[in-house]
Amino acid sequence: MPANAAGEIKPVVATTIPALPAGSDVKPTETSQALPGPSDSAIPTTSIEEKDPEQSDKIPDDATETVYLNNLNEKVKLPALKQTLKNLLKNFGPVLDVVAHRSVRMRGQAFVAFADREVAAKAVKEVKGFPLYGKPIEIAFARSPADCVVKRKTPDDFETHKAERLLKKKRSRRENPLRKKAFALKEAAQKAAEAASAGGAAAPATTTLPASTSNRKIVQMPDEYQPPNKILFIQNLPENAGKDALEVLFKQYPNLVEVRTIPGRSNIAFVEYVDATSSGVAKDALHNYKFDGEHKIKVTFAKQ
């Protein structure tokens, strides 16, 4: 098909993505991919000819100037990822803002705000499936416009928009199942501690213990009721469970920091994550896991 058959001129797209800065775990060669453009041979000409141009280019009524991207490589440092996305998407039009977060819930995702819906529509159409840092991008219109878009178009509505967004975010976090479970565990631990304390106070003082002994007497809380902790305590490990094998097992879950084994105690270990939310995900997944197909390991939060 001739280049001008569609009746419009599309932006010139950069053929490479900026190299990843030093220190990243991702190899630079993974980023050297060409962005699919209007004349790319990867786009079948038959499908373009069969579709009504007006229908294929029609922007959805609920589309916004903001796009949502996910399936992004989580190993790329956040500043480098944001700059790369900006360099990639500015080929379609002015980029107002790129928003991405380090939190577990938002990793591998980003929001990009454009000046108008037409530019956002071009980005959604052309960038979907583009391999960035070895992973195909998933992209779609965001459900609501970014703060910078609202502030730019209707400044009088900005405060109301921001308040509604924060309220929705707070409600979403409150209803998060992992967060609910963490609160339930914490409440159970507090009740167990209170019950133990009350039982100790009500016990008759018929036996006098030495001061040094009585001061050290502490009611032990069951491991299952320990409050959330970024460090996990692993028990019932088989003798052949080395540090390398444990790292392979626990590295399946994001934000692993390190695995610590105890010399002379091959049946226990400690596993540390970045935060308690990450360790909680691993704990729930691997508690009672059959490490060697026979021994069920016990995974609990470590005592604080």
Report residue 132's pLDDT band, with 50, 70 and 90 as the boundaries.
very high
Per-residue pLDDT reduced to its tens digit, 209-242: 454 444 554 445 556 567 889 999 999 998 878 8
What pLDDT score was predicted for residue 188? Answer: 79
Rounded percentage of the chain residues whose pLDDT exceeds 90: 30
Residue 193 in contact with residue 262, Cβ under 8 Å? no
Q: Is 234 exposed, middle or buried (0-12, 13-18, 19+ CB in 10 A)?
A: buried
Domain boundaries, the chain: 28-143, 224-304
Lowest mean pLDDT among 168-172, 192-196, 255-259: 168-172
Q: 């499936």: which residue's tokens?
A: 129
Which carries the bigger pLDDT value, residue 170 or residue 247? 247
Residues in the chain: 304
- Kindly list the distances between the CA atom of residue 3 and the CA atoms of 10, 39, 187, in Å, as whole numbers in the listed order: 10, 7, 66
Q: Which CATH number fits domain 28-143: 3.30.70.330, 3.60.20.10, 3.90.226.10, 1.25.40.10?
A: 3.30.70.330
Q: What is the pLDDT of residue 26?
A: 53
pLDDT of 48 reads 37
Evaluate if residue 271 carries a pLDDT over 90.
yes
The span from the first CA to the last CA of the chain, in angstroms, equals 68
CATH fold, domain 224-304, is Alpha-Beta Plaits (3.30.70)
> 28-143 and 224-304: same fold?
yes
What's 294's DSSP letter? S
